[in-house]
Copies of this chain bind each other. A is one copy, B any other.
Amino acid sequence: MPGSRDAVIDLLGALSYAQLSGFEALAAHAQMTPHLTAKMAFARMAVQMFSRCEQVALRLEGFGVPYADAMAPFVTAIDNFHTRTAPSDWLEGILKAYVGDGIVRDFYTEMAGRLDPDNRDFIVGLLGRVGEPDYILHTLHEAIAADQRVAGRLALWARRIMGETLQQTQSVAAERDSLVALLIGGEAGSGITETGVMLGRLTDAHTARMHRLGLSA
């Protein structure tokens, strides 16, 4: 049972604003670091996020829905997320980008799996195109190797981002009946169980990402 048209519009609206605010956050991280190579890396990631946002906005317009209308219901929840996860330095900013974007991509990919093939393929393609950002891994590895206390601080920070991101994605879904239906209506009758299984998959993927960084999840 693929999601309704409302669910498609809502999911695209939430996704596009998540990417737009991700663009803003990454650009703000660029401003937090004096290192020119890091600035450039943040800016490149920000541009990539905005490109996703533009592609979703175009698709919404193609459906006859102004992108601003589709984004609007999700602004508060997503802005609150960024307020609660403002990094205190650019290293926390990098980790937030890595952890947060990873979970957000997994979440929307999961939700897209409940849509019709055309919309599913669009979202999966959009979010899948980005490779593992070498610069992030390299920089975090270096910082952690240089100072073991940094590893402890960043592991705590990643846990906080993980919790806040899961809460954000759920509160985004809770904004709209269509998304609640999409979230808990995955398999006929399976409802809450299915959601629990999905959260488990998101957590597993997060744990794997943490291990690639050499951090405990």
Contacts and interface: CB of A to CB of B under 8 A. Distances in A.
Interface of A: 17, 20, 23-24, 27-28, 30-31, 34, 36-37, 39-40, 43-44, 46-47, 50-51, 53-54, 57, 67-68, 71-72, 75
B39 A31 contact: no
Nearest to A25: B31
A168 to B, nearest CB: 18
Nearest to A17: B36
14 contacts: A17-B36, A20-B39, A24-B39, A27-B30, A27-B46, A28-B31, A36-B68, A37-B68, A40-B53, A43-B50, A43-B53, A44-B50, A44-B54, A47-B50
A81 to B, nearest CB: 14
A4 to B, nearest CB: 24
A36 to B, nearest CB: 4
A31 B25 CA distance: 9
A72 B24 contact: no
Contacts of A43: 20, 23-24, 50, 53
A44 B37 CA distance: 22
A24 B28 CA distance: 7
Contacts of A72: 36
Contacts of A39: 20, 24
Nearest to A42: B24
Contact of A36 (B44, B51, B71): B71
A24 B51 CA distance: 16
Q: In this complex, which of A27, A30, A44, A46 has the most chain B Cβ atoms within 10 angstroms of its Cβ?
A: A27
